[in-house]
Amino acid sequence: MSLSTLHEHLAARLGPKGWSTDPEVLAPMLAEWRGRWHGTTPFLAMPATTAEAQAVVQLCAAAGAAITPQGGNTGLVGGQIPDGEILVSLKRMNRIRSIDPIDDALTAEAGAVLAAVQDAAAGADRLFPLSLGSQGSATIGGLISTNAGGVHVVRYGMMRDLVLGLEVVLPSGEIWNGLKALRKDNTGYDLKQMFIGAEGTLGLVTAATLKLFPRPSEHVVAMAGFMDAERWLDLLHLIKSRTGALAAFEVMNRLSVDLAVAHIEGVRDPFMLAPSWVALIECESAGGGHGLESAVEEALAEALEAGIIVDAAVARSEAQAAAYWRLRESIPAAHKRTGRPQMSFDIATPVSAAPRFVAIADAATAALLPGARSVAFGHAGDGNIHYTVMAPAETSPEAFAAALPAIVAAVQGEAMNLNGSISAEHGVGVARRDELPAYKSPIALAMMKTVKAALDPQRIMNPRAMLQP
């Protein structure tokens, strides 16, 4: 089938609202939000139903035409931006199909935005706990395909832990309906897990059944300052054991806080002492009235007395809690506004090794680029540090580019030495694809390629993402 015949068949099957080649419609879908990737596509398909999504894959498979799936286009590794492939946007498939508060399960289509799913769960007096900065745009299909993490992983796990069932259009054009709300099902391989974190390389996710939880009635948000990164491990375990209710444990180094205060309007440092590290702590409980706030205060007092922390503050209102979160959430925008040459990493280590990672990486980068400093912050409760190397002000982009290969090797090498990962939650996409062979064992890569070849022998599903041809 020629490409023009394919486009005619796709247009006929999808109807006038289901496709476009208009450059104005395509433009926002072809640009990654930070401007790192710009793509091209001959045809945008926007199926509104699973049957239409199936028809798109069947027609593309028959024509041997490759597909790039896209949800909210908030991905950070470029896997959603096509480079000549047919772009399949799932945004029109955005219905909440069902909510069952007895099964604590919600079934949503792939294009449903995370904030809408959170709202639907809240409407049934339940919680869908995934929470991240892009929740107003990121879709369930994209969050599943990148196995998104966010700030509540320490309590509820990653997307992988929140999915009960999936509906997927396979590269063959067949539909796998695995939309069961089962908590237990040991009838063989857990097939849904193959598609979670697969970045669209194994099929089009069209719907998911998600786990719901009791809605917390008590929320406590606090901040603590300490001088030594190793101390955050003591604080983490103290809060966990004293409250049994830890929902988020984020850390920020001094430079992260200073940049957020300097560059983002209305952001304030809660501490006069300018501690080297600040932790943001969120605890929550569904019980209500059992003194969670007192438990957090007592734990922080104990930490102060034991010399683990040097200062602490508990939010006394929703507005104060929001201000604490705003400090944390402003950091990515703040360090970009410096305009300095910089390189960001999304590192995971065992929780216990994260402070050591920061210390070793800081020393290594300062040796390679004198005057370089790090913006280090993130989900310390999960051992996930977002680590950005910032060049000194006088460094030219050329000098930074020359130093970069050694910096990348040093930072990622240290993560691997600590038994960590070079991509904690953002994925591989096209950004890290060519580095993967250096960091995955040959046997792990071979298994990944075997799965890809078995499910997608024509290599039509997101062929440039994750795995080299």
Ligand X SMILES: Cc1cc2nc3c(=O)[nH]c(=O)nc-3n(C[C@H](O)[C@H](O)[C@H](O)COP(=O)(O)OP(=O)(O)OC[C@H]3O[C@@H](n4cnc5c(N)ncnc54)[C@H](O)[C@@H]3O)c2cc1C
Q: Where are the beta strands (DSSP E) in 161-245?
A: 163-169, 175-178, 204-211, 213-214, 218-226
CA distances from 131 to 134, 146, 326 (A): 8, 14, 14
- Contact with ligand X (CB under 6 A) among 39, 47, 71, 341: 71
Residue (of 312, 326, 331) closest to 267 by Cα position: 326
Residues in a beta bridge with 291? none
**What's the number of CA atoms in the CB half-sphere (13 Å) around residue 35?**
1
User: Angle at CA 309, nearest 5°, toward 245 and 297?
Assistant: 40
143 binds ligand X (CB under 6 A): yes
Site string for ligand X, 178-217 (x = CB under 6 A): ---------------------xx---xx------------
CA dist 441 and 277 (Å) reads 35
CB of 418 to ligand X, least distance (A): 21
330 binds ligand X (CB under 6 A): no
**From 73-81, 186-194, 247-255, 389-397, span contacting ligand X (CB under 6 A):** 73-81
- Contact with ligand X (CB under 6 A) among 20, 54, 74, 243: 74
CA dist 241 and 224 (Å) reads 17
List the interface residues with ligand X, window 119-138 (CB under 6 A).
Answer: 132-134, 138
Q: Which residue is nearest to ligand X (CB)?
A: 142
- Contact with ligand X (CB under 6 A) among 20, 50, 54, 70: 70
Burial tier of 82 (Cβ tally within 10 Å: 0-12, 13-18, 19+) = buried
Q: What is the DSSP letter of 113?
A: B
CA dist 467 and 430 (Å) reads 9
CA dist 265 and 150 (Å) reads 24
- Contact with ligand X (CB under 6 A) among 47, 142, 171, 225: 142
- Contact with ligand X (CB under 6 A) among 18, 39, 47, 75: 75
69 binds ligand X (CB under 6 A): yes
Residue nearer to ligand X on the CB measure, 18 or 429: 429
**From 64-72, 270-278, 283-291, 298-306, span contacting ligand X (CB under 6 A):** 64-72
CA dist 211 and 140 (Å) reads 13
165 binds ligand X (CB under 6 A): no
270 binds ligand X (CB under 6 A): no
149 binds ligand X (CB under 6 A): yes
Contact residues for ligand X (CB under 6 A)? 68-76, 79-80, 90, 110, 132-134, 138-139, 141-143, 145-146, 148-150, 199-200, 204-205, 425-426, 429, 462, 465
